[in-house]
Structure 1
Amino acid sequence: MNLRFRKNGTFRVLQMADIQDGPDVNEDTIRLIRAAIAEGDPDLIVLTGDQIRGYDPAYIDTFLRRRDDEPGEHIRSVTKLEARVRGITPMDESGPDVDADAADHKALLAAAMDATRQKVRRTFASFLSPAIEAHVPFAATYGNHDFQCGILVDEQDDMYREFDGCLNPKTDAHTDTNANTNPLTCEPGTFALPIAASDGSDRIAMSVMMVNSGDYAGKAGDEDGEPASYMEGTPQALHSFTHELYARHSRTIDLADSAGYGSPSPEALQWLGDVQRHLGEANGDNAPVPSIVFQHIPPQEFYRCLRQVPAWTPNAVEGTRAFAHRCYVIDESICRPGAILGESIGCPDEDCGEVDAMRNAGGYFALFTGHDHKNAFIGHVDGMDLGYAPTCGFESYGPKSALRGIRLFVFHEDDPAAYDSRMLTFGELIGRHSGNELRVFIGDHLMTDGASVRNQLRRPKVFAAALLTAATTAHVVWHDVIRRLWRR
């Protein structure tokens, strides 16, 4: 399927970030997707990772917290609790190495993997149905939760291609020769989608680049990602070490034994330059083609869209990991009007050099991500736009219902870098309230560590409510004390 600018010189794209749902996709998510397609009239839909809620109880038997885990190991406590509430029982409560015949366990695991594949297909069929019905092509890359269901992204890539309209190309990177013969592709989730000129020629007027930004960096203490030496210690030592990591990096359980979030592979970074040379050669002028990159995890440069402020600043958020103990707000001199910073930027601990690679290659004018569900801004840093789409899902944490949405882009053939963009929100398209406002409220006010507690207290309404609650409690306690003393 060839993509092409319309005769009026425009090309319209919808970015859907962090659907993050299980096999039965939330109906509000489907309503939002369907309404955004009707409103946005897109030529292309890009899915920028975490389409799959890999830690959902539906995948409790095949869950992978990290890629080198055994299926079903290290299940989150919250997932176990949710499984009990939903009546889901793991296939083998004792685990693969305790009181279970190896052959029987292997058969059970194979059956569980097949069941997971069907659940993933069901998830895809659900959130893709509005696009398929509207005959809008789509492309998908991956986030840090997609693989956790137990089905790795290369197999998920094959599954996406089972659906009409999928533009994910098949790569040769996993073959025996390990040689990729298509210069427009690099690996599952990393590929180029050239947009042809409106005049009917073969000239490439613009390109949409999908980049797999990885999931988690190597385990703590081991930069190569191999099991760190502490894994060979006693259970007591392991517990102590893990507890220390949780205390230091408690933003999410998946980071507890890692060196932070992942980055694009070295091959993908090299490809960002190689593909621009190929596109220039295809056009016959060897000039870089105007291009936008879509991926899941933001690089560290996104912090440059923010301004550091004192800790008591209303609505400020604390940075995490490499940016911990500093508070930030949107830098209005850099970001477009309407920018929203609802949480810290969850970037890798180290800069892999992706943005520099894009600048060196030429042609790249923007990089858009998801990952941080409450953020929705576009900043301009050193000649390049850096932007977010918030979550469009309703089964994970995020902002209030009215602010969950899908980002619309309108590119202009004569100057793709001068694109228009706006959020198509649930509040605008559907209404202020979702079908489960309690779940949304909990997700909007989720507190997992000290930083998230402080972030909540910087929200004026939350602070006022907390102050009123504290004052009311103090008033009741004081009067109770006075009453008891009076009776004496």
Structure 2
Amino acid sequence: MTNSLRFREDGSFRVLQMADVQDGPDVLPDTIRLIREAIRKADPDLVVFTGDQIRGYDPAYIDTFLRRRGEQPGARVRAVTKVEARICGIRQHSTKDAEHPDAPGIDELMDETRAKVRRTFDGFLGPVVEAKVPFAATYGNHDFQCGILADEQDDIYREFPGCLNPADSLEPGTFALPIESSDGSGRVAMSVMMVNSGDYATESGKPGAPKERDAQYPAYVVNSRGLDLADSDGYGTPTPEAIDWLKSVQVELGRRNGDGKPVPAIAFQHIPPQEFYDCLKEVPAWTPNAVEGARTHAGHCYVLNHEVCRPGSRLGEAIGCADENVGEVDAMREAGGYFALFCGHDHKNAFVGHVHGLDLGYAPTCGFECYGPKSRYRGIRLFEFHENNPAGYVTRMLTWGDLVGRYSSNEVRVWFEDHCVTDAVSMRNELRRPEVFAVLAGAMSLGFAAIVRSLLRGGRR
């Protein structure tokens, strides 16, 4: 556990969740502006970053890119990244060897990547540091792919004022942030739990372990229902140690308070567990705005179950959970005290549902470099807690549309990111969007009318 936070004198405490910044060394100005405006609007006591702050596959990191931890940096760069690098005019360096004696060595390339990571952090943390708001960060499936692993990224985060990531945590990205009561007694009235949810699964079942084979893009196109664009094995999960910690940390907090009781707690992580699908309702494939499930839920279509979801919830894509259920939600229920688990990862989702005795929710991407929803729906989630009843919190989205305006500075980019089609599944999801279907139907009608007119003219001749 780390240094203390405290409820305000009026008993309130505000948290901002920022998910999926997912940018390269030069963070886009729109992303920075959104963060700045959200802080100005919310006046938060804490900011939590829930993973994928780093766009690890960005061409800026092409020399040190890792598909998996434990690989040789830059050895297996994605074809998509190579194409993007050519477009951006970025050349991949050959490392120093007998044939390239003047090429930079791997140590030099890693130093360059460290400097780029610092530049990224400086970009999106700038408004947070300027406002003197404490912050904490956990990790997603893309952060490490730049070549700098989470333990070293933790060290870099701690270079910035206000960082609460402890140096002695169970693992990078897994730690507790106790929030003391407003009376100054030191009693823990609530806790924010940061959980490292892993990155990718492997054949051995150990998230992130080195692996020899990967799904290439052509295989993904052929079998998009069974493969993920980034990896054929699916996403990772919290480690067994992290699952045990979710229980033991409540024992420790109860001991600290002297009553042995678990404290009210909310957890934040990147990848959602399978229980998030229980916030949805399966529907026929032709249902408007339905999305197809991924991997273990492939072949099924879903919409939000409004009986369990809060008003204002949005479902924009499939839930990208791991293939394996490691019992995280069960562990939280067994430990007691936990009332909510919030994630990022799926950039177009912004719902909150109550199932299994917990609130399960999302924040969408707050970045403008990665795929996501329309500009006006990209945003940052605000939580308002009261020490007398932390579980009765209020949450809402602070969106670009609310804080800045309807459009970003580059709507062409955002339009493509919103409508990007990479496979048959995403094509079908697009066609279920009534506005997209209407445009395509209208275009086809106009085309058909033009053909008929042409045939009629030909007949008169």
| TM-score above 0.5, yes or no | yes
Letter in 1 for 2:231: L
Matches within 5 A, 1:252-267: 252-256=228-232, 259-267=233-241
Measure how far apart 1:81 and its partner are.
2.0
- SS for the counterpart of 2:196 is coil
Query: Which amino acid in the other structure matches residue 15 of structure 1?
Result: Q
In the alignment, the residues of structure 2 paired with residue 322 and residue 47 of structure 1 have an alpha-carbon distance, to the nearest angstrom, of: 28
CA shift for structure 1 position 446: 1.2
Question: Which residue of the partner structure matches residue 422 of structure 1?
Answer: 396
Report matched runs for 1:36-185 at 5 Å.
Answer: 36-92=38-94, 100-101=97-98, 104=101, 107-171=104-168, 185=169
Shift of 1:482: 5.0
Q: What is residue 194 of structure 2 aligned with on the other side?
A: 210
Identify the residue that residue 172 of structure 2 maps to in structure 1.
188
Change in CA separation of 1:244 and 1:432 when aligned onto 2, cut-off 3 Å: closer
1:111, 1:478 → 2: CA distance? 65
Alpha-carbon distance in 2 for matches of 1:6, 1:105: 59
Q: Distance in 1 between matches of 2:451 and 2:69?
A: 52
Task: Please name the residue that 1:5 is paired with.
Answer: 7
The answer to whether the aligner puts 1:314 opposite 2:288 as a matched pair is: yes
Amino acid at match of 1:255: D
* Compared CA separation, residues 424 and 245, structure 1 to 2 (3 A): closer
1:33 alignment partner in structure 2: 35
CA displacement 1:229-250 (0-9 Å, x = unmatched): x75xxxxxx99x9854663347
Q: Would you say the 8 A contact 1:20–1:50 is kept in 2?
A: yes
Q: Contact conserved, 2:93 with 2:104, CA < 8 A, in 1?
A: no
Query: 5 Å matches for 1:268-287?
Result: 268-287=242-261
Closer/same/farther in 2, CA of residues 486 and 252 from structure 1, 3 Å limit: farther
Question: Secondary structure at 2:26's aligned position in 1?
Answer: coil
Tell me the distance in 2 between the aligned counterparts of 1:411 and 1:447.
39
**Unaligned ranges ≥5, structure 2:** none
* Amino acid of the structure 2 residue aligned with 1:6: R
TM-aligned CA deviation for residue 365 of structure 1? 0.6
What is the letter of the counterpart of residue 253 of structure 1? L
Query: Is 1:470 aligned to residue 444 of structure 2?
Result: yes
Question: Aligned-pair distance for 1:13?
Answer: 0.2
Is 2:370 aligned against 1:373? no
The 8 Å contact of residues 71 and 210 in structure 2, kept in 1 or not, is answered as no
**TM-superposed deviation, 1:112:** 1.2
Whether the 8 Å contact between 2:179 and 2:188 is mirrored in structure 1 is yes
- Report how far residue 463 of structure 1 moved: 0.2
Q: SS in structure 1 opposite 2:115?
A: helix
Equivalent AA in structure 2 for residue 223 of structure 1: G
In 2, the alpha carbon distance for the partners of 1:102 and 1:224 equals 37
1:14 pairs with 2:20: no
Of 368, 391, 409 in structure 2, the residue corresponding to residue 435 of structure 1 is 409
Residue 223 of structure 2 is matched in structure 1 by 248
Separation of aligned partners in 1, 2:327 and 2:44: 32
| Cα shift readout 1:183-203 (whole Å, capped 9, x = no counterpart) | xx3110000000001000110
Out of 25, 48, 65, the residue aligned to residue 23 of structure 1 is 25
Distance 2:144 2:456 in 1: 59
Q: Whole-Å Cα distance in 1 between the matches of residues 144 and 424 of structure 2?
A: 29
2:341 partner SS: strand
- Structure 2 SS opposite 1:448: coil
SS at match of 2:49: strand
Residues 118 and 227 (structure 1), Cα distance of their counterparts in 2 relative to 1, 3 Å cut = closer
Aligned equivalent of 2:428: 454
Q: Which amino acid aligns with 1:457?
A: L
String of CA shifts for 1:383-402, please: whole Å, max 9, x gaps: 11000000000000001000
State the alpha-carbon separation in 1 of the partners of residues 159 and 420 from structure 2: 37
Alpha-carbon distance in structure 1 between the residues aligned to 2:167 and 2:99: 35
The Cα of 1:477 is off from its aligned counterpart by 3.5
Q: Is the 8 A contact 1:249 1:255 kept in 2?
A: no
Task: Classify the secondary structure of the residue corresponding to 2:15.
Answer: strand
Distance (whole Å) between structure 2 residues aligned to residue 227 and residue 295 of structure 1 = 23
Are the aligned partners of 1:91 and 1:108 in contact in 2 as well (CA < 8 Å)? no
CA distance in 2, matches of 1:19, 1:187: 22
| Partner SS for 2:170 | strand
Q: Residue 272 of structure 1: CA displacement?
A: 0.6
- CA distance in 2 between partners of 1:127 and 1:245 (Å): 33
What amino acid is the match of 2:229? I
- Alpha-carbon displacement from aligned partner over 1:40-89 (angstroms, at most 9, x marks no partner): 01000000000001111100111111223321133222222221221111
Matches of 2:457 and 2:77, distance apart in 1: 50
CA 1:346–1:73 in 2, change beyond 3 Å: closer, same or farther?
A: same
For the structure 1 residues 106 and 170, does the alpha-carbon distance in structure 2 shift closer, same or farther, using more than 3 Å as the test? farther
- Equivalent pair of 2:23/2:120 in contact (CA under 8 Å): yes
Structure 1-normalised TM-score?
Answer: 0.90
Give the RMSD, CA atoms, in angstroms: 2.0
Q: Residue type matched to 2:183 in 1? A: D
Q: Gaps (5+ residues) in structure 1?
A: 172-184, 232-237
Q: For residues 25 and 161 of structure 1, what CA distance do their matches in structure 2 show?
A: 19
Q: What is the CA–CA distance in structure 2 between the aligned matches of 1:448 and 1:151, rounded to whole Å?
A: 28
CA 105–313 in structure 1, closer or farther in 2 if over 3 Å, else same: farther
Q: TM-score, normalised by structure 2?
A: 0.95
One-letter amino acid matched to 1:352: V
